[in-house]
């Protein structure tokens, strides 16, 4: 069945360092992926997305890498700041269920000042 999972449930990084959050997905038909950030007491907030015809996409301080061969997704945050502390989810979307996304379990990022 469809599923998305994360390798590391928690991640602690020093302020100013780069963070890498990983995600594995199992459905090879998934063609659209999104990273969300969720702060305590709030709903998920869009960070960056990538389609399966790309292997890299960059935003402001964030980069998403997609490796379709091993069905792996990563989110890189440059110069991590205290405001980046949150839970990060990857989510996938498939052509047969384009009306929704399936979320992985999440990684908690903690930035040490």
List contacts with another protein (CB under 8 A).
Answer: 4, 32, 34, 41-46, 49, 89, 91, 93, 97-106
User: Smallest distance, Å, CB 49 to another protein?
Assistant: 6
CB closer to another protein, 12 vs 14 = 12
CB closer to another protein, 76 vs 97 = 97
User: Smallest distance, Å, CB 106 to another protein?
Assistant: 5
Q: Do the bridges between strand 10-14 and strand 107-112 make them parallel or antiparallel, or are there none, so unpaired?
A: parallel
Residues 9 and 59: their CA atoms lie apart, in Å, by 24
- Write out the DSSP string of 74-109: EEEESS--GGG-EEEEEEEE-GGGTT--EE---EEE
């Amino acid at each position: 069945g469809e599923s998305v999972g994360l390798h590391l449930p928690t991640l602690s990084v020093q302020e100013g360092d780069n963070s890498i959050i990983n995600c594995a997905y199992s459905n090879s038909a998934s063609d659209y992926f999104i990273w969300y950030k969720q702060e305590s007491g709030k709903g998920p907030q869009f960070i960056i997305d990538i389609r399966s015809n790309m292997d890299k996409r960059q935003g402001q301080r964030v980069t998403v890498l997609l490796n379709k061969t091993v069905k792996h997704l990563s989110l890189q945050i440059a110069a991590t700041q205290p405001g980046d502390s949150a839970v990060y989810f990857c989510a996938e979307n498939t052509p047969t269920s384009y009306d929704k996304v399936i979320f992985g379990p999440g990684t908690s990022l903690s930035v040490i000042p």
